[in-house]
Amino acid sequence: MATSARRAERREEPLSRERIVETAVELLDRSGEGGLTFRALAQQLATGPGAIYWHIANKDELLGAATAAVLTGALTAAAPGSTPQQAVRSLALGVFDAIDAHPWAGAQLARPFSPSPLLRLMEGIGRQVQALGVPEPELFGSASALLHYILGVSNQNAANAVAAATHRPPTSRTAFLAATSTAWAELDPDEFAFVRTVAGQMREHDDREEFLTGIDLILTGITARLRAAAPPATGPAREV
């Protein structure tokens, strides 16, 4: 009864690109890329595949639109008047949270969509790197370092959550970290001296705070290079 009522409700709503993309995000969250087909989408929307093709040309376009949709909030996360550092932190954390909520999105960013959500992310990062005063020859390297860190850590965090949820039996993040911490603490003290030292921190660490620590380290390195490259300050000329 509930399914029939939902389909009837959807039929009464006009079909639009926005509705199609929203429903695609729901399917991707539930079943991953493999579960997103035009047949499944048409069934969910209580329409025919032809009606969907009127708005979306193919699956690549649909995946690109869905990825852009879940990242839109991240790309506009910075508050007006933010410093470049604050804007990068807001953008980075927005991407981290978006991929955490939609694990499929991180993998989609590497696909050749047009316009690419990855390019929009690069643009958002790059503008803040420019605002920091990074010279043109170093713009690409600085923005790329931030981009690769953001995507790499965000995707790994999402993969860890998926692995815990799909483990049989499923395990909670707390249980997973506790087990990992215990395993690290029991490693050979000569071969894994550092890992044993931080084993206790693994049990208690906060993923988002740890992620932002890495962002701050990169930003600190960028600003330190700028200070090192700046010409020395000169005082007023001395009278002879």
Q: What are phi and psi of 15, to 5 degrees?
A: -75, 130
pLDDT in tens, 87-105: 999 999 999 999 999 999 9
Task: Identify the pLDDT of residue 80.
Answer: 83
In degrees, to the nearest 5, what angle opens at C-alpha 213 toward C-alphas 211 and 218? 100
- Angstrom distance (rounded) from CA 186 to CA 207: 23
The answer to whether position 63 is within a domain reads no
Do residues 101 and 178 both lie within one domain? yes
Instruction: Give the mean pLDDT of 28-36.
Output: 92
Pick the more confident residue, 232 or 22.
Answer: 22
Do residues 91 and 135 both lie within one domain? yes
Task: Identify the pLDDT of residue 161.
Answer: 82
- Indicate which CATH number applies to the domain containing 44: 1.10.10.60
Task: Identify the pLDDT of residue 178.
Answer: 86
pLDDT at 237 over 70: no
pLDDT at 43 over 60: yes
Instruction: Give the mean pLDDT of 30-49.
Output: 92
Do residues 97 and 8 both lie within one domain? no
Tell me how far apart the terminal alpha carbons of the chain are, to the nearest angstrom.
96
Domain of 12?
A: 1-56
Average pLDDT over the chain, rounded to whole?
Answer: 86
- Angstrom distance (rounded) from CA 99 to CA 101: 5
17, two tokens: 């690109």
Do residues 87 and 140 both lie within one domain? yes
pLDDT at 138 over 70: yes
Domain count, the chain: 2
Instruction: Give the mean pLDDT of 169-196.
Output: 87
pTM of the model: 0.83
